[in-house]
Amino acid sequence: MSTELPPDAKVRFTQERLSVLTPRDRQGLAGRIGVVEPDSRSTGKPTVYFPASGDKPELRLFRVDPRHFELVESPPDPVIAPGLNEVANPSDLSKGSGDVEPTSPGDGEKLSQSDLDNFFD
């Protein structure tokens, strides 16, 4: 069983983990669904955010042991706009839009502002 929790996945505490908590903590955490937050530091111990629900306040747990959680719902697949993965025809890259054709820089030569503007038209 994998212990990795992907960002944006929905998780909850395992029954095994809940069984070792105090009755008060168990009551406050049992059945709550949290969301794994992306962490800029890859520590292997993510942050899990539990939104406020009914009389339970929001809760954010830092550096949690992923083995204490079970996956409820995988994160959504990223949406890729059509055409973003298509490779342009190299012959089309030399054609500019409009009347001015952009020039490519030579060895170490920098583009002028107008050349840069032409690339993004």
Domain span at 25: 10-73
Token digits for 28? 């406050």
Provide the pLDDT for residue 17: 95
Indicate whether 48 belongs to any domain.
yes
Indicate whether 87 belongs to any domain.
no
Q: Distance of alpha carbon 3 from its chain centroid, rounded?
A: 18
> Up-side HSE of residue 71: CA atoms within 13 Å toward CB?
12
- Do 68 and 39 share a structural domain? yes
> Up-side HSE of residue 8: CA atoms within 13 Å toward CB?
4
Provide the pLDDT for residue 44: 77
Indicate whether 16 belongs to any domain.
yes
Token digits for 26? 């168990």
Tell me phi and psi for residue 41, to 5 degrees.
-100, 125
The percentage of the chain sitting over the pLDDT mark of 90, rounded to a whole number, equals 43
Indicate whether 103 belongs to any domain.
yes
Instruction: Give the Cα separation of 23 and 43 in Å (integer).
Output: 30
Give kind and range of the element (H or E) at residue 115. helix 113-119
- Do 19 and 52 share a structural domain? yes
When pLDDT is averaged across residues 105-118 and rounded to a whole number, the result is 64
> With 70 as the cut, is the pLDDT of residue 106 above it?
no
- Do 62 and 105 share a structural domain? no
> With 90 as the cut, is the pLDDT of residue 50 above it?
yes
Instruction: Give the Cα separation of 48 and 38 in Å (integer).
Output: 9
Instruction: Give the Cα separation of 31 and 29 in Å (integer).
Output: 6
Indicate whether 17 belongs to any domain.
yes
Provide the pLDDT for residue 1: 46
Indicate whether 84 belongs to any domain.
no
When pLDDT is averaged across residues 47-60 and rounded to a whole number, the result is 93
- Number of domains composing the chain: 2
Instruction: Give the Cα separation of 51 and 35 in Å (integer).
Output: 8
Indicate whether 27 belongs to any domain.
yes
What pLDDT band is residue 74 in, cutting at 50, 70 and 90? confident
